[in-house]
Amino acid sequence: MLAYTLLIAAVAVERVAELVVSQRNLKWSRAHGGVEFGAGHYPVMVVLHTGLLVGCLLEAAHREFIPALGWSMFAVAVAAQVLRWWCITTLGHQWNTRVVVVPNAGRVTRGPYRLFSHPNYVAVVAEGIALPLVHSAWITALVFTAANAVLLWVRISVENKALESLTA
């Protein structure tokens, strides 16, 4: 359980790093006339993603580590982090944890965005399933995935409308 706690702590540190990058990019976007869309769902997203990490630790304390499941899910969780940071670096100043569009900025169509529209959410979904299952926390994986599906439906709708404003 110590190794799993350290993994969750590492993911929490990674989330703080994301927030630092996001704040820097938000300042840049606002300085360049950036407009935020759908701010109302942002606090829900923060609570849900924090709840994922807390839920992982609470449930894993009552679960056994199953090596075949744990190691395969660890590999998926690492792959999700690689995809997430590929998205962040590809978007550069345009990446944010909020939905912010800078007028006259082109839509990014390189990197993972040449493959599909919302690759960061592939990473979020994969991580939301895999991270809890590293230590058999299947209830956390199920609850997060269901709640995240609703949140992503809202979030992707907001993002698509925001992205339409780039070409309008």
**Mean pLDDT across 112-126:** 95
Write down the pLDDT at residue 165.
Answer: 81
Write down the pLDDT at residue 136.
Answer: 98
Write down the pLDDT at residue 56.
Answer: 98
- Which residues, at least 6 apart from 51, have a Cβ–Cβ distance to it below 8 Å? 144
Q: Tell whether the model's pLDDT for residue 168 goes beyond 80.
A: no
Nearest CA-CA partner of 121 in 84, 77, 89, 72: 84
**Mean pLDDT across 108-132:** 95
**Mean pLDDT across 95-122:** 92
Neighbours of 2 (CB within 10 A): 6
pLDDT in tens, 6-33: 999 999 999 999 999 999 999 999 999 9
Share of the chain above pLDDT 70, in %: 99
Spatial separation of the C-alpha atoms in residues 158 and 20, rounded to whole Å: 23
Spatial separation of the C-alpha atoms in residues 66 and 78, rounded to whole Å: 18
Write down the pLDDT at residue 166.
Answer: 72
pLDDT in tens, 128-165: 999 999 999 999 999 999 999 999 999 999 999 988 88
Which CATH code fits 2-167? 1.20.120.1630
Write down the pLDDT at residue 161.
Answer: 92
pTM of the model: 0.93
Spatial separation of the C-alpha atoms in residues 154 and 141, rounded to whole Å: 20
Q: Tell whether the model's pLDDT for residue 167 goes beyond 80.
A: no
Q: Tell whether the model's pLDDT for residue 124 goes beyond 70.
A: yes
* Helix segments in the chain, DSSP class H: 2-31, 42-60, 67-91, 119-133, 138-167
Spatial separation of the C-alpha atoms in residues 52 and 2, rounded to whole Å: 18
* Residues 83, 84, 89: CA angle, nearest 5 degrees: 95
pLDDT in tens, 65-96: 999 999 999 999 999 999 999 999 999 999 99
